[in-house]
């Protein structure tokens, strides 16, 4: 039987986008049911949603008097997953406080399945400490939250508060409902750049948004792994459940990675680590008149190479390489020199690959000598493919251990 998703719609302007979310879910073979508040009906009609879902829309607490089943309970019982999109400050507050005074809040009170909440409201409402506290409470209770996006808001502000696009919400739902094939693994991911300070205001860094590493940790957590993310300064927010350790310099990243390494079954090093640091870091800002035009640098440890030297038989290590010339040759050399199980090779001079974008074009180089060239695809899709390969390697390593024991 196809899975069933319950979609709650509360009364925000972003409700006009929810029919598209419903259509995307229906198209992917999911059974959908909608429960909406009276306020939501000012923005989108039950007829639209009933037509798209092929099911009656539930909104009236007292309209079920002559029906045999208790509608709100059977809706809640039959849902495999539930989402509220958009979730207004009001509905978030009610759910966080256990209020069930309409059909939506009553149905959601009776749910036992995972719930995704997509807040959408004016930026100042979103930043209000009461709303933030309610969201934190929901997160603590195991609700999944989707960060609102920044952009033009109906109230005229250009700031965070927009409901993410339906495609993104649908993708999130699919990932949260997907198989937990990485349960039992502890995946250590590194992401982002490092910063190597010259003085309190100046530093040397590498180009990296952290999006690729965060995509890997988000997909790994969705697939049931325990995930530790050691990341330099990044602006992307890792998914709920990821243990996020923030670092600044390569030396800090090395120390934190080493702390976790023993317990990890898999390491994926997507970070763009700075190869050098200034030999001297001044504690006070250096005035330009006193500055020499030469910076003396010291080499940073190669964290990945160090892991390659100390790794256990059963641990899988995946490295990344960002290249602009002799791409394949450089990649093959790194795979061998750093003793990796797999290298994700990235020609960052190609449009659609590498820094700051949401897509990537990669080639997987395997220890066995096999190589796989991938098409341009989203970083989430690349992340899933890397994790698929990791799973295969871990299964093979475990099989080998069992047969040789
Ligand atoms: N890496 C690392 N520690 C460093 C430098 C790199 O762990 N000090 C890791 C990166 O996280 C990545 C891989 O090594 O997984 C390759 O990084 P890259 O910058 O492409 O290569 P380098 O080894 O630094 O070599 P080069 O800069 O000469 O290309």
Q: pLDDT tens-digit profile of 68-122?
A: 556 678 889 999 999 999 999 999 999 999 999 999 999 999 999 999 999 999 9
Residue 302 assigned to a binding site: yes
Does the C-beta of 274 come closer than 6 Å to ligand 1? no
pTM above 0.85, yes or no: no
Domain assignments of the chain as residue spans, ordered by start: 4-177, 186-404
Tell me how far the alpha carbon of residue 87 is from its chain's centroid: 20
Domains 4-177 and 186-404 share a fold: yes
Does the C-beta of 302 come closer than 6 Å to ligand 1? yes
Residue 338 assigned to a binding site: yes
Residue 320 assigned to a binding site: yes
Does the C-beta of 304 come closer than 6 Å to ligand 1? yes
Query: Could you confirm whether 58 is annotated as catalytic?
Result: no
Q: What's the pLDDT tens digit per position in 193-240?
A: 999 999 999 999 999 999 999 999 989 988 999 999 999 999 888 877
| Class level of CATH domain 186-404 | alpha beta
Distance (angstroms) between ligand 1 centre and the Cα of 305 equals: 9
Which of the following is catalytic: 58, 155, 240, 357?
155
The residue among 257 and 3 whose pLDDT is bigger is 257
Please report which confidence band the pLDDT of residue 192 belongs to, taking 50, 70 and 90 as the band edges. Answer: very high
| Class level of CATH domain 4-177 | alpha beta
For residues 151-173, average pLDDT = 88
**pLDDT of 363:** 96
Pick from 273, 303, 322, 346 the residue to mutate for probing ligand 1's pocket: most ligand atoms within 8 Å of its CB.
273
Pick from 232, 297, 321, 363 the residue to mutate for probing ligand 1's pocket: most ligand atoms within 8 Å of its CB.
321
On average, the pLDDT of the chain sits at: 93
Distance (angstroms) between ligand 1 centre and the Cα of 338 equals: 10
Does the C-beta of 321 come closer than 6 Å to ligand 1? yes
Instruction: Tell which atom from ligand 1 comes closest to the C-alpha of 206.
Output: 19
Of all protein residues, whose CA lies closest to atom 14 belonging to ligand 1? 304
**pLDDT of 31:** 95
- Give the chain's end-to-end CA distance (angstroms, integer): 41
Please report which confidence band the pLDDT of residue 64 belongs to, taking 50, 70 and 90 as the band edges. Answer: low
């Amino acid at each position: 039987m196809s899975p069933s998703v319950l979609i709650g719609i509360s009364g925000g302007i972003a409700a006009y986008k929810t029919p598209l979310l419903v259509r995307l879910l229906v198209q992917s073979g999911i059974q959908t049911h909608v429960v909406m508040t009276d306020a939501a009906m000012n923005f989108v009609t039950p007829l639209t949603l009933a037509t798209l879902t092929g099911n009656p829309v539930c909104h009236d607490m007292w309209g079920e008097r002559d029906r045999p089943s208790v509608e709100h309970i059977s809706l809640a019982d039959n849902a495999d997953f539930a989402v509220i999109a958009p979730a207004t400050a009001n509905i978030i507050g009610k759910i966080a406080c256990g209020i069930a005074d309409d059909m939506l809040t009553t149905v959601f009170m009776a749910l036992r399945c995972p719930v995704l909440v997509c807040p959408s409201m004016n930026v100042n409402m979103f930043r209000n400490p009461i709303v933030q506290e309610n969201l934190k409470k929901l997160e603590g209770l195991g609700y999944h939250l989707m960060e609102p996006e920044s952009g033009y808001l109906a109230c005229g502000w250009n700031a965070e508060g927009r409901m993410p696009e339906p495609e993104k919400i649908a993708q999130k739902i699919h990932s949260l409902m997907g198989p937990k094939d990485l349960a039992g693994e502890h995946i250590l991911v590194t992401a982002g750049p490092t910063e190597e300070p010259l003085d309190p205001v100046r530093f040397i860094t590498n180009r990296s948004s952290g999006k690729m590493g965060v995509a890997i940790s988000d997909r790994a957590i969705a697939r049931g792994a325990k995930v530790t993310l050691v990341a330099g300064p990044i602006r992307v927010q890792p998914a709920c459940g990821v243990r996020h350790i923030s670092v600044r310099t390569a030396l800090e990243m090395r120390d934190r990675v080493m702390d976790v390494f023993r317990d990890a079954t898999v390491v994926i090093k997507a970070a763009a680590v700075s190869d050098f640091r200034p030999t001297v870091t001044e504690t006070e800002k250096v005035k330009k008149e006193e500055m020499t035009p030469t910076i003396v640098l010291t080499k940073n440890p190669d964290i990945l190479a160090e892991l390659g030297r100390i790794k256990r038989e059963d641990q899988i290590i995946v490295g990344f390489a960002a290249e602009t010339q002799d791409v394949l040759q450089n990649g093959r050399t790194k795979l061998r020199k750093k003793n990796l199980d797999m290298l994700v090779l990235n020609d960052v001079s190609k449009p659609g690959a590498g820094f700051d974008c949401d897509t990537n074009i990669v080639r997987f180089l395997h220890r066995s000598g096999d190589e796989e060239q991938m098409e341009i695809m989203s970083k989430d899709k690349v992340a899933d493919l890397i994790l698929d390969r990791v799973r295969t390697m871990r299964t093979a390593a475990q099989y080998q251990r069992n047969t040789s024991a």
